[in-house]
Amino acid sequence: GIQVEQSPPDLILQEGANSTLRCNFSDSVNNLQWFHQNPWGQLINLFYIPSGTKQNGRLSATTVATERYSLLYISSSQTTDSGVYFCAYSGAGSYQLTFGKGTKLSVIP
């Protein structure tokens, strides 16, 4: 079946540091999104990125569909970046979005 694997599962950063989160998926991609779940549980979509590279402020994402992975970059991290980052994936011909188990990020001052 469809597999979506995220790494690392946990990450602790000093404020100001940079980080890279990874999402591997098992098949060709129809939809790939990155979400941030804040400490209050709200899921915010960060990027819709089935291929290519996008940037939004301190965050950027790259998906290499042919190699079946996506990366989320966080630069100059802030304490407000803390939370869980999820990638969600659907394969070709499917709209069922499958979520990875997430990366729990803690940014300490």
Partner 1 sequence: GAGVSQSPSNKVTEKGKDVELRCDPISGHTALYWYRQSLGQGLEFLIYFQGNSAPDKSGLPSDRFSAERTGGSVSTLTIQRTQQEDSAVYLCASMGRSNGVMNTEAFFGQGTRLTVV
Q: Which residues bind partner 1 (CB under 8 A)?
A: 31, 33, 35, 41-45, 48, 86, 88, 95-102
Q: Which is nearer to partner 1, 25 or 86 (CB)?
A: 86
Least Å from the CB of residue 104 to partner 1: 9
Q: Beta strands 19-25 and 4-7: pairing type?
A: antiparallel
User: For partner 1, which is the closer residue by CB, 43 or 65?
Assistant: 43
**CA 64 to mean position of chain CA atoms:** 13
| Secondary structure (3-state) at 77 | coil
CB of 42 to partner 1, least distance (A): 6
Token pair in block for residue 87: 């990638």
CB 16, min distance to partner 1, A:
28
Distance CA 54, CA 9 (A): 23
